[in-house]
A and B are shown apart, each in its own frame.
Chain A
Amino acid sequence: MTPRIADMLTYLAGIVLAALFLMPLLWLVSLSLRTPAEVYLGAARFIPEAPTLDNFRQILSDSAFGTYLWNAVKLCALGALGAVIVATPAAYAASRFTFRGKGPVMIGILMVQMISPLVVIIPLYRYLDRLGLLESHLSVIAVYMAIGVPLSVWLIKVGFDTIPQALEEAAAIDGCSQFEILWRITLPLASPALASAFILNMIMGWSQFLVPFILLTRDGQLPIAVAIYNFAGSSSASTTQLLAAACLVAVVPALAAFLALQRLILRAIMAGAVKG
């Protein structure tokens, strides 16, 4: 096989794969632009003859959708921020100090990541209930934070590992305390690692369903992922074209954030992947 033919086959396979991965989203867009009459025509109207933005108008004119989106942004941003803040000191210590028990602790942190949130949500539900903290965004943020911590510790540690220690040693000679060194010198240099940990946590938080579904009930508090599940289950509004529009509204912010920050995210996952 000549390289030329191999290139052609590569292109062919690439196009097939791209189509496979793109079609569901294109179909979603197609449905969301259709009138009910065109929905019933199925694939024959993949490109609607009378495209309409009415479905989006109807979804977005409902002020609740704005609230759901805002709730989702708020919950996952604060949860992600919390995780990075909590993880940073531990990551620094793991990167810079040697001490007895470091290996087991770091492995323990990693193991926590393997525990399904489903397992812990059962007792958490009861604790928060007793403390009167159900129906509160604070509780959800705390759980998001904990879910994000293990990965954050490892990602940020890897980030710290790549920063040469010579700079810190120089600062130490100048009489800076350990904490000052971290704050003034190391953290700014580690900002790419911090940012990628933050963004990965954001994206994971955006997909979270179980935690807010169990801990929150009031409609005005729900994030978008729970809201569209409820929306799909409410027969007054579950017509296909509206559901498609609602799904797009839920998906687009995450997609946009991802496309804008793709490089950073990719580097973060690769760093995580290579290190295990």
Chain B
Amino acid sequence: MIKDRRVWLWFAPVLLVLGGVYLIPVADVIRFSFSDATLLRPVTGYGLGGYQAAFSDDSLGVILRNTGLFTLLSVVSLQAMGLAIALLLVRGDRRGLYGMSALRTIVLAAWVIPGIANGLIWQMLFSEAPFGAINSTLRLIGLSPVAWLSDPGNAMISAVIANVWQGSAFSMIVFYAARRAVDPVLYEAASVDGARPVAQFFFITLPQMRGALLVNTILVTIQTLNTFDTILALTGGGPGRATEVLSLNIFNRVFYSYDLGGGSALAVLLLTISMALTLVYLAVLLRKTAR
């Protein structure tokens, strides 16, 4: 164990890289957000114009609602799906059932697919042309087709499905690790007491995994907030604005409408939400370590 000023030398490369690519740009985004800069024109003055314009825009309400809905539905489904698969895998492992590692591999495979490709794949699946994948299957078995992407409500659900298909693997791994860390003695004791599996789930599994659930919820929320490539490729934010989430809106605003000031103002909003969630996450982690 060393106490030495030179210890910071070891951190120099990391601080340099993160400072250059993250800290300075974040400071600059905050500066831009108070400016009237566009992508075509440098800053000519500072003020609250960017915030005023961005926050008085009628579309912001819709976009924030979309963002909230997309994040909420995604996170709940991702957690439920991840937990279900993880518990299934743990049970299969314990009972020595076949094919458990195959299932795990299949779920994980979706996870390495780039978001853009994910959006394109689901666009083909949800295609509402008469020969589209899901709809032609529905027709084949005598059901009526579904307006997956053209109905605003469905389009949001479709985007969530695509997101969950790709993202469940992460939650699955976290929960798999957490479930295996639960002391088996607890379950043995419960069995002896005659507790049914459902009761064991609610009185042992869930409470024991509370930490993992909370931490993972926050991580997945941040991830969901920050990405938009699946939506971009799947619906482009449409129909209308039905699936336009905050990050996609910032992207369009800055790189399509050139509105650097307003886009930065919303970027600051996104950053604030992420950082607030991160602080909650850290508080949870620290409490866990302290215990």
How many Å from the CB of A14 to the closest CB on chain B? Answer: 5
The answer on a CB contact under 8 Å between A206 and B114 is: yes
Report, as a range, how many residues of chain A touch the other chain. Answer: 35 or more
Contacts of B260 in A (CB 8 A): 122
| Any B CB within 8 A of the CB of A173 | no
The answer on a CB contact under 8 Å between B14 and A250 is: no
A 217-232 binary contact with B (CB < 8 Å = 1; else 0) = 0000000111011001
Please provide the chain B residues from 17 to 65 with a CB less than 8 Å away from any CB of chain A in the complex: 17-18, 20-22, 24-26, 28-29, 32
B97 partner, pick from A11, A115, A123, A146, beta carbons under 8 A: A11
Contacts of A117 in B (CB 8 A): 226
Contacts of B12 in A (CB 8 A): 89
How many of B's residues come within 8 Å of A, CB to CB? 97
The answer on a CB contact under 8 Å between B136 and A44 is: yes
| Any B CB within 8 A of the CB of A50 | no
Query: Known contacts A96-B2, A115-B22: does B11 contact A86 (CB below 8 Å)?
Result: no
Query: Known contacts A10-B92, A229-B233: does B282 contact A90 (CB below 8 Å)?
Result: no
A 68-99 binary contact with B (CB < 8 Å = 1; else 0) = 00000000000000000111011011001111
Contacts of A164 in B (CB 8 A): none
Contacts of B88 in A (CB 8 A): 10, 13-14, 17
A42 partner, pick from B1, B21, B136, beta carbons under 8 A: B136
How many Å from the CB of B236 to the closest CB on chain A? Answer: 10
The answer on a CB contact under 8 Å between A273 and B177 is: yes
Closest 4 CB pairs of A and B: A42-B136, A146-B21, A93-B10, A116-B226
Interface residues of A (CB under 8 A from B): 1, 3, 6-7, 10-11, 13-14, 17-18, 20-22, 24-25, 27-28, 31, 39-44, 85-87, 89-90, 92-93, 96-99, 105, 107, 109-112, 114-124, 126-127, 142-143, 145-147, 149-150, 153, 178, 203, 206-210, 214, 224-226, 228-229, 232, 240, 243-244, 247, 250-251, 254-255, 257-259, 262, 266, 269-270, 273-274, 276
